[in-house]
Structure 1
Amino acid sequence: MDPINVAERLGRWSAGRGALYALLAARLRCLIDDGELPAGTPLPPDRVLASTLAVGRSTVVAAYDLLQSEGRIVRRQGSGTRVAGDALTRPAETTSAPVFLDLLEPRADVIPLACAAPDAPPAELAECYARMLPELAATTGDIGYYPTGHPRLRHAVAEYYRNRGVPTSFEQILITTGGQQALSLLARCFLQPGDRVLMESPSSPPALEAFRAEAAVIQSLSPGLAGFAAAAHDHRPALAYVIPTFQNPTGSVLPPQARRRLAETAAALGIPLIEDEVLAELGFPGFSTPPPLAVHSDAVITVGSLSKTVWGGLRIGWVRAAAPTIARLARIRAVHDLGGDVPTQLAAAELLPHLAAICTRRAPERKARHDHLRAELARLLPDWHAPAVTGGQTLWIRLPYGDGTSFTQTALRHGVAILPGSGLDPTGASETHIRVHYLHPPPTLTEAARRLADAWHTYHPPPIPVPAPPALAM
């Protein structure tokens, strides 16, 4: 594809308030992810594209560097710049589209270990739908549009936080269609192109994609968040995002004292701090989960969801924040979505008081499956490093050699879908890692471990690590 065609596909774009290179990277990212610039497409040299678009060469270089760090393009001296996935780097049949489909809609012959969520609703959910039916049948004078969420569920979520020691009013709650919509709305609310976001490396793929969709620039925080104040001073972020409880993907838990320091520091610096609590209720038996960050500062913005704790098909999430922030989010949501499904929200309102009991009942089974998969991996793949966790849904595994992206493709050919670590880490420091979940029954986990072992025994890493495709698994 020649430079003029690439420039034409970029369409109209302007700097607005943000950094020009971030806008250029965002537009190229969309073209790549939408398939308009297919895998292997050569991109124009820096100077040529800069001249065509009438921008400085440094703008193009910075945009290319950002996309390369995300694994979307490959730059080689003497070979130019190409969209990741050409024949020189990986086979055509393992481009990002099939991998992504196997993450969310796996084939019958593939064991999905990438996208983690309960695969069956608990009995309580059906009972809650039955209990809300009389209220639904008696509804009159209500068109059912609630951009902020149905009042019954908003009150139930507020009560949920009050019971956990976080004073919360009805006006501080926005109901969303899952945690992913909550993150997307927050990104749209707080970010302009070129704004910086502080987040852990590695971190949640949906959060990474939500922030990148707004042309934000990711700045990485070290594990444990010890350098938060220094990073905030250096980068002056518009937003910070953390997962302090059963961090995705590592499973780590931030200690109580560190939580207090983080919340108080963010509040003192005026940095909006998002606490992702989607996994917070998933501790193993005997583990005492520290209180949420919002206990220490009412300025913390909290994201929650029922999809990871109850069932993946229950698309209920929420945001807890100051009332003015909730009002802004509701206005943004109303442009695209006048409100979620009312019967589902009514059922969720019935269910929420039983959430802790459901999680407690399921915890021993999750712990047993965690132990089973680790034992099978230790037996069949003793060179792999798969540390134990105290809750959550996933293992963060370090491979003894090679890279997670190319091994992910080998594993898929052996009937297992896993997530490469490089797609979860904007620094590129997790290339040797993969993420797998342990929510399947033990016989399925045994078979998955056997297939992974077969894949590993046939695995030959490429001479140059394979760039990761965009990773959107939860």
Structure 2
Amino acid sequence: MASRLVAHLGPQVLAGASAQTLAEQVRALILDGRLTVGERLPSERALALELRRSRSTVTRAYGLLEADGYAVRVHGGGTRVSLPHERPAVPTDDDETAIDLSIASMDSTPGLYDATVRSLPRLAALRGTSGYSLRGLPELREAVAARFTERGAPTTADQIIITSGALNAVNLVLASIGRRGSRSLVEQPTFPHALEALARHGYRMLPTPVDIDGWDLSHLADTLLHSRPHLAYLIPDFHNPTGATLPDAERARLAATARNAGTLLLIDETTAELDIDRGWAPTPMAAHGPHVITVGSMSKIAWGGMRLGWIRAEESLIRQFLATRPSFELGTALLEQCIAVELLDEMPALTAHVGARLGAGRAAVAEGLAAIDRLAMPPTPGGLSTWLDLGSPVSTSLSLAARDHGLILPPGPRFSTGGVLERRLRIPITLTPERTREAMTRLRRAWEDLGDDRGRSPREHTHAAVI
């Protein structure tokens, strides 16, 4: 079984890597948060065997990491991840001058304040209760169910649980029905934190490719029927990060194939309402059978700071989720629920505002990319981001170079299951146009810093990016 480090690196990518390139890739994983401070790295001998490289190459790579402060050798404790004591050139979350493109989220909708004010009488009326509600407020569950029904998936309030965000919902589903050691089909690329949640619950991932033009449906169907995974985690609406949307006819075929394979579909709809100009609205996957579990959220259409989501599933599954939930959570904050009731009453205005904001962000990204040699924005009809083809496998190198310009930019492999997608880069369209223009200027400078390396793979680089 591959070590966690090699699972992130991807042995197929690094089989011929030099010590310098190996050190760069490990440093990128540390800066990206995929390797944690204090985590033990494989021994030099074990890593050399996994990567099929000489032990001297691995020893040299670890030495470079140690010299730069990204690793420490502990007597009797192996080599562990660390961070330099002083990193003035590397932007961090609390660096006000940095622009963080690792978070694809807008600031709050203008209607949030008014909705909060209107929600206060509703909250005041709840003061005589215990304040705990495993299911969520009845009026909020009714509102969420009504939204599903409006979109073409008849739903009752008894099929809804209110959660503390969509990722919380995913973890509740996995804690309730997860099967450690089982297979889970996942898109590649996909939402990184969902991959982490599946791995934490013991799933073995089966990737299926998605690109800006959609899914490889033959590969997806073959994987379902031949491997029969217990679960499939999918983002069929404005897929994160590609922006693709699965058409209705293909949804029906996918649901039927999953049903025949005995696979539960865990559908992430956090991006479903982020339409700019797609021109059509698909029927929710929830309309295609009892084996579909849907999670959604208010964070992308209202505000990331509003930690409120939901699960939509058959009542038998809802009962399982309710039985599990008290083991780690006794309900969702009442204030957020009261605000959400008000916001869901204004969905047409809310989605129109979101569409206009995303359209402005998309235009600013397109303008910025037009000024960067060999980069162009693909069609992006909605969603959180645009998915760039860099033309050569330099995503990690570009990410490292961007940090020297105060730009936090996750590389393509961050969205994969094993170090692939080095030609790809996710650029959010969620920032304000002014902030986006500055981000694109910094991206252009980082791109220019790569110079001739843009046409070479990471394993051919002869120098490290300055951190």
- TM-score normalised to structure 2 length: 0.80
SS at match of 1:301: strand
Shift of 1:190: 3.0
Partner of 2:386: helix, strand, or coil?
strand
Q: Does 1:108 align with 2:93?
A: no
In structure 1, the residue matched to 2:434 is: 443
Tell me, yes or no, if structure 1 residue 464 matches structure 2 residue 459: yes
Q: CA deviation at 1:91?
A: 5.4
Q: Deviations over 1:285-327 (max 9, x none)?
A: 4621211112222321111101011111111111101112122
Matching residue of 1:18: none
The answer as to whether partners of 2:396 and 2:412 remain within 8 angstroms in 1 is yes
Q: Deviation of residue 378 (structure 1)?
A: 1.4
Equivalent residues of 2:166, 2:295 under 8 A apart: yes
- Residue 208 of structure 1: SS of its match in structure 2? helix
CA pair 359-219 structure 1, distance change in 2 beyond 3 A = same
Secondary structure (helix, strand or coil) at the match of 1:459 reads: helix
- Residue of 128, 144, 168 corresponding to 2:115: 128
One-letter amino acid of the counterpart of residue 53, structure 2: R
Contact 2:91 2:403 (8 Å CA) reproduced: no
Q: Helix, strand or coil: the match of 2:294?
A: strand
- Aligned: 1:170 with 2:157: yes
Q: 1:128 to 1:256 in 2, by over 3 A?
A: same
Partners of 2:163 and 2:225 in 1: how far apart? 32
User: Paired residues, what number?
Assistant: 414
Identity %: 33
In structure 2, runs of 5+ residues without a counterpart are 9-32, 72-80, 462-467
Aligned to 1:50: none
Cα 1:372/1:182, change in 2 over 3 Å: same
Tell me what 1:35 maps to.
Answer: 37
* Change beyond 3 A, Cα 1:419–1:78: same
**Which of 307, 315, 333 is the equivalent residue of 1:323?**
315
Return closer, same or farther for 1:75/1:36 CA change in 2, 3 Å cut-off: farther
The residue matched to 1:423 in structure 2 has which SS? Answer: helix
- Deviation of 1:439 after TM superposition, in Å, equals 1.8
1:85–1:146: structure 2 CA closer, same or farther, 3 Å change rule?
A: farther
CA change 1:255–1:286 in 2 (3 A) is closer
Report the 3-state secondary structure (helix = DSSP H, G, I; strand = E; otherwise coil) of the residue aligned with 1:161: helix
In structure 2, relative to structure 1, the CA distance for the partners of 1:183 and 1:103 (3 Å cut) is: farther
Runs of 4+ in 1 over 4 A off after TM superposition: 31-34, 79-82, 88-99, 460-463
Name the amino acid aligned to 2:132.
Y
Say if 2:241 is the partner of 1:264.
no
Instruction: Identify the match of residue 383 of structure 2 among 386, 392, 412.
Output: 392
Q: Distance in 2 between matches of 1:90 and 1:364?
A: 48
Residues 414-453 of structure 1: pairs in structure 2 closer than 5 A: 414-453=405-444
CA contact (8 A) 2:377 2:388 kept: yes
Question: Aligned partners of 1:338 and 1:104: how far apart in 2?
Answer: 34
- Deviation at 1:90? 10
- State how far apart, in whole Å, the 2-side matches of 1:378 and 1:35 are: 38
TM-score, structure 1 as length reference = 0.79
Asked if 1:87 is matched to 2:82, the reply is: no
Letter matched to residue 356 of structure 2:
P
Work out whether residues 117 and 309 of structure 1, in 8 Å CA contact, stay in contact via their aligned partners in 2: no
Contact residue 25 and residue 215 of structure 1 kept, 8 A = no
Q: Is the 8 A contact 2:394 2:423 kept in 1?
A: yes
Cα displacement (A) at 1:156 = 1.5
Question: Which residue in the other structure is 1:368 paired with?
Answer: 360
Provide Cα deviations, 1:338-382, integer angstroms capped at 9, x if missing partner. 111111111111211212321113312321320221122112x13
Deviation string, structure 1 residues 65-89 (Cα, Å, up to 9, x no partner)? 7xxxxxxxx663334879x987369
In structure 1, runs of 5+ residues without a counterpart are 1-20, 47-59, 66-73, 467-474
**Which residue of the partner structure matches residue 76 of structure 1?**
53
Q: Which amino acid in structure 2 is aligned with residue 112 of structure 1?
A: D
Task: Give the 3 Å change call, closer, same or farther, for CA 25–42 of structure 1 in structure 2.
Answer: closer
